[in-house]
Amino acid sequence: MKYFVLIPDGMADTPVPALDNRTPMEAAHKPTMDKLAAKSLCGTVLNVPSGMVPESDTANLAILSYDPRTYSKGRSPLEAMSQGLEMSPADTALRCNFVTLSGDADTDVYEERVILDHSSDEITTAEAAELVAALNEALPMPGRVLHTGVSYRHCLLWENACETYDFMRPHDILGKVIGDYLPKEDNGGAEFLAYMKEGAKVLEHHPVNEARRARGLRPANSPWLWSPGKKPALPSFPEKWGVRAAIISAVDLIKGIGICANCDVIDVEGATGNFATNYTGKANAAIDAFENGCDLVYVHVEAPDECGHRGEVDVKVAAVEKIDAEILAPVLAYLESCGDDFRILVLPDHPTPIAIRTHSSDPVPFFLYDPAKTTEGVSSYSEAECAQKDFFIPDGSTLLSHMIDR
Per domain, the residue ranges of the chain are 2-72+233-402, 91-229
Please give the pLDDT value at position 55.
Answer: 87
pLDDT digits (tens, 9 = 90+) for 134-171: 999 999 999 999 999 989 999 999 999 988 888 999 99
Percent of residues, the chain, with pLDDT higher than 70: 100
pLDDT digits (tens, 9 = 90+) for 11-34: 999 999 999 999 999 999 999 999
CATH class of 2-72+233-402: alpha beta
Please give the pLDDT value at position 75.
Answer: 81
Please give, one letter per residue, the 3-state secondary structure of the chain: CEEEEEEECCCCCCCEHHHCCECHHHHCCCHHHHHHHCCCEEEEECCCCCCCCCCHHHHHHHHCCCCHHHHCCCHHHHHHHHCCCCCCCCEEEEEEEEEEECCCCCCCCHHHCEEEECCCCCCCHHHHHHHHHHHHHHCCECCEEEEEEECCEEEEEEECCCCCCCCCCHHHCCCCECHHHCCCHHHCCHHHHHHHHHHHHHHHCCHHHHHHHHCCCCCCCEEEEEEEECCCCCCCHHHHHCCCEEEECCCHHHHHHHHHCCCEEECCCCCCCCCCCCHHHHHHHHHHHHHCCCCEEEEEECHHHHHHHHCCHHHHHHHHHHHHHHHHHHHHHHHHHCCCCEEEEECCCCCCCCCCCCCCCCCEEEEEECCCCCCCCCCCCCHHHHHCCCCEECCHHHHHHHCCCC
pLDDT digits (tens, 9 = 90+) for 322-340: 999 999 999 999 999 999 9
Q: Mean pLDDT of all residues in the chain? A: 95
Model-wide pTM > 0.85: no
Residue 359 above 80 pLDDT?
Answer: yes
Mean pLDDT of 80-84: 89
Please give the pLDDT value at position 399.
Answer: 97
